[in-house]
A and B are shown apart, each in its own frame.
Chain A
């Protein structure tokens, strides 16, 4: 039988890792948009300086 305490710790652990995963995916998306909008401009600037 699974103890309630152990289950709670597992849920808490999973939530923590889930938060990290969600943050990673959001950051990937947000920085992806930033890269799409500004990336080529930055690359061109670096090429020409």
Chain B
């Protein structure tokens, strides 16, 4: 039996894969194209279809996850719109840089090395900070409007917030920061996003927390809000050339919509320090996967492409499993603490 030109087994595979990605996307506000595109490429889809369908899927998932985060009060629309302005400008400059490097024949190698170091660097930094406990615990996920404790704001963000260059903008979570600092951070993340050719959630989400000082749940929700626009525009551009295949996107989205609900809800249950550990570990897994793939390409060892995909899928499966496990554990601990027998 076939549906949308796909066998039921393939539809089941896409729905299951979507569920996995949805958990990560809802929880971290990232991980869509980073996971889907390489998987579709290995499955034999043309690059244009893999990238275009990946972007369309990211667009749909980000719509769902943003709506869920909006319900939880974790989207700062003012910050999101400002980030869109700065990021768009940065992406344009990043793309021009790539065009220039391509004309010199250096684009591929420089981008790959930058990607591995950036992904690995952010992953190591986030993991280290989470393990160290700096700026980790204590922010109440349900109290997005309340000012964050000064101890919870990373030192770099405190420094950036201290620059009093008008106009100053009040953000959710009691954060006040100069408009120019927001645009500067947005431009820098857009520049990297355009240069590396990725959605940029893995750069933007930590940047919102570590550089601007926005509490992690709001950073995730606001990042997703921005991805709605960037993913929508990107997938539309690919759709113009027939790069969006609905037989891939529809089942993936059916699974991820459910997963995104689980992931988004988990941000209100799981401790913030744990969120950052998982985020860091997933980035480190991604960096290792890209490094393995590049080594495979340079030394012409095709099996390393599959090893790379296995690393990406393995780290995604491990981290999404950890998110679900931590949520269940937190619920049980909460139940034990509040039950009369605990007294």
Contacts and interface: CB of A to CB of B under 8 A. Distances in A.
Q: Tell me the dominant secondary structure on chain B's binding face.
A: helix
B240 A46 contact: no
Interface string B209-242: 0000000000000000000000010011101110
A13 B332 CA distance: 47
B25 to A, nearest CB: 12
A48 B239 CA distance: 48
Contacts of B250: 23
A17 B332 CA distance: 41
Interface residues of A, number: 22
Given A27-B254, A47-B335, A17 B261 contact: no
B29 to A, nearest CB: 16
A38 B249 CA distance: 27
Contacts, number: 75
A17 B246 contact: no
Given A28-B68, A46-B331, A17 B59 contact: yes
B177 interface: no
B63 A24 contact: yes
Interface residues of B, number: 30
A28 B240 contact: no
Nearest to A39: B265
B69 to A, nearest CB: 12
Nearest to A48: B335
B331 A17 contact: no
Interface of A is mostly: helix
B258 interface: yes
A12 B52 CA distance: 14
A44 B245 CA distance: 40
A28 B161 CA distance: 36
A48 B61 CA distance: 31
A47 B332 contact: yes
B244 A28 contact: no
Contacts of B334: 47
A17 B244 CA distance: 9
Contacts of B68: 28
Interface string B258-286: 10010000000000000000000000000
Contact of B258 (A9, A31, A47): A31
Nearest to A13: B239
B238 to A, nearest CB: 8
A23 B235 CA distance: 15
Interface in A1-49: 9-10, 12-14, 16-17, 19-21, 23-25, 27-28, 31-32, 35, 43, 46-48
Given A24-B61, A46-B328, 9 more contacts: A13-B236, A16-B235, A20-B253, A21-B60, A23-B254, A24-B257, A25-B63, A46-B331, A47-B331
Interface of A: 9-10, 12-14, 16-17, 19-21, 23-25, 27-28, 31-32, 35, 43, 46-48
5 contacts: A12-B239, A13-B240, A23-B60, A35-B261, A47-B332
